[in-house]
Structure 1
Amino acid sequence: MTPPMARCPSTSSFTESYFTKTYVPLSSLPTPPLSHSRNNSRQQSPEAFSPGQVLDPELFGPAIHLTNLIPTSTSLTSATVPLVHSILTLSNLPLETIALAVSILDSLNTKFALQWRQGCPLQVHTLPPPFNDGEGTLETQHIDEVHPEIIVLAALVLAVKFLDDRQQSTKEYAEDWGRGIWSCQQINFTQRCLLENLGYRLVPLWQEDIILEALEDMERAGQQHEPEIYDDDDEDWEFENYRHRVLDTFAGKAVLGLGNQLTPVETPLSENIKGTRDVSNETRIAFKGMQIQDRAPSPREPFPLFMEPSGRELGY
């Protein structure tokens, strides 16, 4: 019986795992550790608000799609799907409202990232006692320390405000949906930045065909997603499965062909290939009507030797 969720081993993962297990340094000098193909040099946002948080599996596709719609030039910090998934789970919004947020992010132009980076208010923190000189030394937050998932949060807030008049305050959104990661000033500025980029026009985005297309994109994102987390056991499984598939490609089975002869047949010996007397019945049936004559062995001619021409032959 085929398992419900069968993994498809890839050649790239097989090559990487095989190279890792068989790699030997070229010398005895210190060798840096091997880098993983899935490593990312950019800083990443926290995976989720709390390790024990239960995420809604139906919102996994929307979380992937919303994360992909965050402009990458807004921050050097990479947005993560689990954090967006946590925001969607805490907000508990209908899919149509999330689809409007998708349409908002999908309609942004290239000017949004620069405007957001230049104007986003940064939080100011007081340094702890070892670094505090007693005069209230402050540390200003860097723009790349602001997690870019705030853009998804602001788009969801705008969608709720557009569809529902019973709104909550920004403080409630920041605490209930954002768990205090972002300040109210940052959320309000991001909302205003989104509206200015769209020209304060949300009505054209609330169209049936646009919302249906956004719903299809979210569903498609969840279906096409493949997990990228592997451990040693998975790599061993992929290596063994790949090896068996390669062996199965070359391993053949003998079947009963024409003339009641097993195919493929054994390799003919040298004495059986001189003429056509030992041609199988299958071959004779295939070439029925043609005269197949035995070749008479012809004497071998000596190999011609090269002789340098003399001067008389050249006309000298």
Structure 2
Amino acid sequence: MIAACLRDSSEAQPSQTALDDGEPLQPKFRGPAIHLVNLIPSSASLATASIPLVQAILSRANLPLETVALAVCILDSLDAKFARTWRLSCPLRNSFTTTTTTTATISKRHTLPPTPLVHDQQLHIDSVSPELIVLSALVIAAKFTEDPQQPTSFYCSSWGRSLWSAEQLNVTERCIMESLGYRILPLCDEDVLADAMVDMQLAARQHDWHHRQPSPPESVAAIIIPGVGDHDDGGEFVPSHTRSKTVATFRGLGMPRTEVSAPRPAGGNTTRQTKEVR
């Protein structure tokens, strides 16, 4: 039921339907792509992850939404040490691109020594596209739920369009698994996955309204009305899976109405006047 609701809402969202090179994007993966991008640890890379690129990866993989939800839970469960570990461990170069370019240069006769490419000159972890972390989470989720017999190179070429090397993908997978303590099964709880799917749905709805809205929103958190209990269920935020970095959901669009007695007039009129506080 949740999956059907997610599909319907995603298809109704106005969104980009193709990458710059004309590759088609499936609208149902718009919300999941937004949510996955926002779950990339902010300290992992200074580069900004691309929502259309992640949506393209999801469209190529065409995984069930339940499997994508597991990838959401995987990213959502990374500990604080993951970003530093990944930055220190991930290879800085796409060996596929470097090897191909070097071979083509050597095959030419009477040429000057090859000039280092800009890609090779910028040997820094921030030159590695952070969408690699999302790709790795999707691969782990697919391996756990579907057990496909595919080599790492398949995911790099088919899902990632050779933007990353097999070594980069393997190292990122290992960093994620170490961060999780090699425990995936607890993340497969039905309630946890259901919350993740709801968050993906809400991400598609709220992205255009307010990109990366804080949770809880500052405009709501700053409202304090005397006489209204701070622990009133009417304004309580609904928890999602462990934490949500994409959307802020709460019950009720307004504060509960409360009768407040106005000061009595000096003339002795005891008529009670009330006003509504919204």
Whether TM exceeds 0.5 here: the answer is: yes
**Aligned AA for 1:74?**
A
Q: What does residue 91 of structure 1 align with?
A: 61
Relative CO higher for 1 or 2, CA cutoff 8 Å, sep ≥ 6? 2
Amino acid at match of 2:181: G
2:246 matched residue in structure 1: none
Matched residue count: 181
Contact 1:62/1:98, CA 8 A, preserved across alignment: yes
Normalised by the size of structure 2, how large is the TM-score? 0.60
Q: Which blocks of at least 5 consecutive residues in structure 2 are unaligned? A: 1-11, 13-17, 106-110, 211-278
- Return the alpha-carbon distance in structure 1 between the equivalents of residues 77 and 92 of structure 2: 26
1:134 aligns with 2:104: no
Runs of 4+ in 1 over 4 A off after TM superposition: 126-129, 135-138
Whether 2:175 is the aligned partner of 1:193: answer yes
Show the 5 A alignment for 1:288-303: none
| Counterpart among 51, 55, 58 of residue 21 in structure 2 | 51
The TM-score, its normalising length taken from structure 1, stands at 0.53
Q: Is the CA contact (8 Å cut-off) linking 2:78 and 2:180 kept in structure 1? A: yes
1:171 to 2:140 alignment? no
**C-alpha separation in 1, matches of 2:52 and 2:32:** 11
Shift of 1:224: 1.1
Partner of 1:118: 88
Residue type at the aligned position of 1:115: T
The answer to whether the 8 Å contact 1:160/1:167 transfers is no
Query: 1:165: Cα distance to partner?
Result: 2.1
Letter of the 1:173 counterpart: Y
Q: Which residue identity lines up with residue 134 of structure 1 in the other structure?
A: P
Q: Take 2:205 and 2:22, find their aligned partners in 1: how far apart are those partners?
A: 25
Residue of structure 1 aligned with 2:134, choices 152, 171, 193: 152
What is the Cα deviation at residue 143 of structure 1? 1.1
**Following TM superposition, by how much is the alpha carbon of 1:137 offset from its aligned partner in structure 2, in angstroms?**
5.8
**Cross-structure match for 1:300:** none
Q: Does 1:214 align with 2:196?
A: yes
Which shows bigger deviation, 172-181 or 71-80? 71-80
**Aligned-pair RMSD on alpha carbons?**
2.5
Q: State the distance in 2 between where 1:78 and 1:60 align.
A: 17
* Counterpart for residue 183 of structure 1: 165
CA contact (8 A) 2:73 2:196 kept: yes
| Alpha-carbon distance in structure 2 between the residues aligned to 1:201 and 1:55 | 32
Within the candidate set 38, 48, 71, 1:68 is matched to: 38
The 3 A distance-change label for structure 1 pair 190 and 58 is same
In structure 1, runs of 5+ residues without a counterpart are 6-47, 229-316
- Which deviations, in whole Å up to 9, do the C-alpha atoms of 1:149-189 show, x marking residues without a partner? 00000000000110112231110100000000000000000
User: 2:114 and 2:129 mapped to 1: Cα distance?
Assistant: 30
Larger-gyration structure (1/2) = 1
